[in-house]
Amino acid sequence: MGFLIKVIVIFIVFNFIFRLIGKVFLPMFITNRVNKMTGNQSQQDFRRESKRNEGQVTIKKTQEHKKMTPDDMGEYVSFEEIK
């Protein structure tokens, strides 16, 4: 019976320690990783911008949208409202 109590106490102590470490160090680790990722992204964007020659103009075209009503939908029928 004494062995079972020792195992339970050790499990509770380790559980408490891991939760404490997780609450303290996990947020610091996540913020560190996020800062590194955003820093790398901004550096890559700066490198792309700096590669362009001064005075060079670039035009980015967007995709053209298709008609909302396809041609095979049918014909338009005009009508008059009768009161």
- At 17 the pLDDT is 92
What confidence tens digit (pLDDT) does each residue in 11-42 have?
999 999 999 988 888 888 888 888 887 776 66
End-to-end CA distance of the chain: 94
Q: Which residue has the higher pLDDT, 9 or 44?
A: 9
- What is each CA distance from 63 to 40, 46, 66, 67, 83, in whole angstroms? 29, 26, 9, 13, 45
Q: How far apart are CA 73 and CA 13, in angstroms?
A: 71
